[in-house]
């Protein structure tokens, strides 16, 4: 199941206005206004819409690869998926760990596929009512 998708856009204000005009009956609503300065170096500002998060990022580049976040059901699943992708030839972007600049329960890892598309494997304990957040050695981003 998808957790989120980043769309790179040429004109952020114009695209935000477009998504704000989409009828609410489709379930597309304003959900996120993330300041990239709160994240790691060179993180873009994000404007998010939808029933789930569909985020828009303006990079200033004519082309940028897509970013897709896949929902995992546990921290172990994030780690196993990352290890499998890395073994299959993916390039490392971010090792498994907590990303505290997003949320204290945001456990993720990120790779680039052979075409440069960013794939993120995400577990948010707050999305799983039956789960209790357990700290592991992988949780602190290095």
What pLDDT digit, counting tens, does each position of 7-32 carry?
777 777 877 776 676 545 456 576 77
Cβ atoms 141, 131 nearer than 8 A: no
C-beta of residue 55 within 8 angstroms of C-beta of residue 4 = yes
- Fill in the DSSP letter of residue 117: -
**Predicted pLDDT at 3:** 72
Looking at residue 98, its pLDDT comes to 94
Residue 79: what pLDDT? 94
Q: How long is the chain?
A: 142
pLDDT of res. 28: 59
Which regions in the chain score pLDDT beneath 70? 1-2, 18-19, 21-28, 30, 40-41, 49-65, 115, 128-142
Beta pairing, strands 91-98 & 106-112 = antiparallel
The predicted pLDDT at position 52 comes to 56
């Amino acid at each position: 199941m998808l957790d989120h998708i980043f769309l790179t856009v040429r004109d952020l204000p114009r695209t935000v206005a477009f998504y704000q005009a989409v009828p609410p009956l489709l379930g597309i609503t304003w959900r996120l206004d993330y300041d990239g300065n709160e994240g790691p170096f060179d993180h873009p500002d994000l404007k998010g819409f939808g029933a789930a998060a569909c985020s828009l990022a303006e990079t200033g580049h004519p082309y940028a690869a897509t970013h897709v976040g896949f929902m995992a059901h546990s921290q172990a699943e994030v780690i196993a998926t990352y290890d499998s992708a890395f073994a299959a030839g993916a390039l490392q972007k971010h090792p498994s760990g907590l990303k505290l600049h997003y949320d204290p329960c945001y456990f993720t890892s990120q790779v680039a596929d052979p075409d440069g598309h960013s794939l993120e494997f995400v577990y948010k304990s707050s999305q799983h009512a039956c789960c209790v957040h357990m700290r592991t050695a992988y949780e602190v981003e290095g």
